Amino acid sequence: MDDLLAALRAIAEPTRLRLVVLCARGELTVSELTQILGQSQPRVSRHLKLLCEAGLLDRFREGSWVFYRLNGNGRGGALARHLVALCGDDDPMIALDLQRLAAIKRQRAELASAYFRENAAHWDRIRSLYVDEREVEAALIEIVAAADPRELLDIGTGTGRMLEILAPRVERALGIDQSREMLAIARVNLERAGLRNSQVRLGDMYQLALPDASFDAVVVHQVLHYADRPAAAIAEAARVLRPGGILVVVDFAPHTLEFLRQEQAHRRLGFADAEVAEWCRTAGLNPAPPRHLPGNPLTVAIWTASRPAPADIRSGAGRHREALIAGGLGR
């Protein structure tokens, strides 16, 4: 009862209620909220602090930026969502706030589009060398659907494409990337797709700021060839995988296209199946047969591995589950 009363006291103030309504629409920085409300940053920061302490908002840092979002867990978040629904959009003050929020989102989208246009030519050239991305995505959807995870992590999320196709199949999805520019694009794409169960964060794939065994599925899509320590990246992905969870790695099979190293900063020219399988075993995972999707000249490989659950180790059920998940991967 005390927590609920504290949350009610915190939100029972016009500016704080407006902040909660805004943060229910997505992740916003202090400067963006200040711009929308037309109030000083210290004042807005004080209000945000109270809302976070009451469990109504989540606060997370991304480099020098701090983002705020509606609390996704607990009674505080549930109360906030209920009150936001009661507010509606027809109140003059809230309508003005949402109008200003829409302008900020348009500005974000324009900046993200400009960055994408500047870099798209490089990505399009690489994509022309391998199998149609739609075939890769269809295979990933099939694998994730068979695993039936509740919570999914996408390491190196980039523009958030993996979240776009996989998040509708899970309860919660999180994308991690070390590029703020890419995360800006990802946020725009997720907003456009209406994926409220998805978030993105700035992070290091070698040191994820996440607890052990916190996800049912981890995806590493076209990231490993940039890594200077791919085995360490696999080990860190395995660390956050729950017993019974699945790791899915998508990258290139070995090739000889040196220009990708020179022009696109690829550190590795693909990976052998045995190499990836050994990294997975060392990380405590059971690798399944890989799937190869031949292109011209690049072949895309999809490697999967699962973390055995204690019961699986005793009964052998884990091998049966892996066979179901990997079904047809050798095609």
pTM of the model: 0.72
Among 179, 187, 261, 174, CA closest to 219: 174
CA pair distance 159, 188, nearest whole angstrom: 9
Is the pLDDT score of 312 beyond 60?
no
Backbone CA torsion sign across 28, 34, 36, 39: positive
pLDDT at 73: 66
* pLDDT, tens only, 111-142: 666 755 676 566 666 767 788 889 999 999 99
Is the pLDDT score of 91 beyond 90?
no
DSSP letter (8 states) at residue 294:
E
- Spell out the domain ranges in the chain: 2-101, 129-326
129-326 is a CATH 3.40.50.150 domain:
yes
Is the pLDDT score of 20 beyond 50?
yes
- Using a pLDDT cut of 90, give the percent of the chain over it: 51
Query: Which of 11-20, 57-66, 193-202, 319-328 shows the lowest per-residue confidence on average (mean pLDDT)?
Result: 319-328
Is the pLDDT score of 279 beyond 90?
yes
Q: What's the whole-number average pLDDT of the chain? A: 85
Pair 233, 280: CB distance under 8 Å: no
The arithmetic mean of pLDDT across residues 25-54, rounded, is: 91
Pair 177, 158: CB distance under 8 Å: yes
Is the pLDDT score of 319 beyond 50?
no
Is the pLDDT score of 62 beyond 70?
no
Is the pLDDT score of 55 beyond 70?
yes
Is the pLDDT score of 26 beyond 50?
yes
Give exposure, 168-196, as e/b (b: 16+ Cβ within 10 Å): eebebbbbbbeeeebbbbbbbbbbeeebe
For 2-101, CATH number out of 1.20.810.10, 1.10.10.10, 1.20.58.410, 3.40.50.10470 equals 1.10.10.10
The arithmetic mean of pLDDT across residues 60-86, rounded, is: 77
The residue written with tokens 């302008």 in the block is 103
pLDDT bucket at 199, cuts 50 / 70 / 90: very high
Residue by residue, DSSP assigns 110-155 as HHHHHHHHHHHHHHHHHHTTSS-HHHHHHHHHHHHHHH--SEEEEE
CA pair distance 197, 160, nearest whole angstrom: 13
- Peptide bond connecting 297 to the previous residue in cis, omega within 30 degrees of 0: yes
pLDDT at 313: 45
* pLDDT, tens only, 229-272: 889 999 999 999 999 999 999 999 999 888 887 777 777 888 99
Is the pLDDT score of 215 beyond 70?
yes
pLDDT at 250: 96
pLDDT bucket at 110, cuts 50 / 70 / 90: confident
Show Cβ contacts of residue 146 under 8 Å, excluding neighbours closer than 6 positions. 324, 325, 327
Is the pLDDT score of 321 beyond 50?
no
The residue written with tokens 């890989």 in the block is 290
Give exposure, 282-320, as e/b (b: 16+ Cβ within 10 Å): ebebbbbbbbebebeebbbbbbbbbbbbeebeeeeebee
The arithmetic mean of pLDDT across residues 176-200, rounded, is: 90
The arithmetic mean of pLDDT across residues 69-81, rounded, is: 77
pLDDT at 311: 64
pLDDT at 27: 79
Give, in order, the Cα–Cα distances in Å from 301 to each of 7, 82, 123, 224, 281: 49, 45, 18, 12, 18
Sheet strand arrangement including 28-29: 28-29, 65-70, 57-62
The arithmetic mean of pLDDT across residues 179-208, rounded, is: 90
- Using a pLDDT cut of 70, give the percent of the chain over it: 87
CA pair distance 328, 318, nearest whole angstrom: 17
Is the pLDDT score of 168 beyond 50?
yes
The more confidently predicted of residues 91 and 173 is: 173
pLDDT at 63: 57
Among 169, 250, 157, CA closest to 205: 157
Pair 119, 40: CB distance under 8 Å: no
The more confidently predicted of residues 317 and 230 is: 230
